[in-house]
Amino acid sequence: MSRALIGAVVLAAALLVASSTLFTVHQTQQVLITQFGEPIRVIREPGLHYKLPFIQSVIAFDRRLLDYDAPGEEVILGDQRRLIVDSFTRYRITNPLEFYQTVGATEAGIRARLNSIVQSSLRRVLGNEPLLSVLSTDRTRIMGTIRNQVNEEARRFGIEVTDVRIRRADLPEENTQAILSRMQSERERVAREARAEGAEVAVRVRAGADRERTVLLAEGQASADILRGQGEQEAIRIFADAFQRDPAFFQFWRSMQAYRDAFGEGETRLLLSPDSEFFRYFRGTSQIGQPGAVAPAPPAAPAAAPAPARTSD
């Protein structure tokens, strides 16, 4: 065998031993060294490290914050109401040795343990709280209590639980329909009360408006009657003053009015003699407007003669 071949074999063996001896720890990881399955030491510092080749193994664990989404579970609250709670948990591996010894080398082992712990804590804490507390600002206090309980129980697995949150809380389907029916009935009752109160207010306003209208009409009618009486009084006074100033002209004017009424449109027939007092102003007007002349009394309109009766042939 040539020296070159021997050198190549030695170099390959050296590289194989070096690759089995040296390893790198990432800054997001922490490493547990095991020898024949038994844990030897924990390495948390990032960088280049070594181990015994072929007999020691490296198991890496994530040191970042990890999430676990728990499936929805039905929980009975303190007021005996049922609620389907969907939660999630955030945790961090703080002790790789304890984690390896209790749940194994992978994260799958801790998920079943966390699910049991979280569900038990949810049932225990929410079983003492009413629905209004879960849906109000007390939810922060409730979740803090659940987180502390879960963290206390999960420490034995080498993890630290930093947060437990309820992602969604729904009522069961049958409860949802019943609550929706009650809400609808309540809204309808409130609507009926609002309509009844509105109708009462409308009747009261309408009655007040009718009463005010009646009062205004009565006051207006009274004012109109007073003004009409005052106007008629003033007209009579003016009429009397005018009659006293020129009685002859007044008598003439009254006669003209009587002529207008008597000879107006219509089928009325008058039977009068030519020398009737009714036609005195047609015979002469020498006394009208003379000083000191006294006009005769105004002629009264003669009664209408009845129309001749028709005789049948």
Q: Read off the pLDDT of residues 1-38 as tens digits, 9 standing for 90 and up.
A: 577 777 676 667 667 766 678 888 888 889 988 988 88
pLDDT category at 213 given cuts 50, 70, 90 is very high
Q: Which domains does the chain have, with CATH numbers?
A: 12-62 (no CATH), 66-176 (3.30.479.30)
**Residue 267 structure tokens:** 């089928």
Q: What is the DSSP string of 12-58?
A: HHHHHHHHHHEEEE-TTEEEEEEETTEEEEEE-S-EEEE--TTTEEE
Which range is least confidently modeled, 43-52, 144-153, 187-196? 43-52
pLDDT tens, position by position, 121-137: 999 998 898 888 888 88
Rounded Cα gap, residues 152 and 116, in angstroms: 14
Instruction: Give the mean pLDDT of the chain.
Output: 80
CA distances for 129 relative to 41, 69, 80, 120, 122, angstroms: 46, 23, 10, 15, 11
pLDDT category at 54 given cuts 50, 70, 90 is confident
pLDDT category at 183 given cuts 50, 70, 90 is confident
pLDDT tens, position by position, 73-101: 888 888 888 888 888 999 999 999 999 98
pLDDT category at 284 given cuts 50, 70, 90 is low
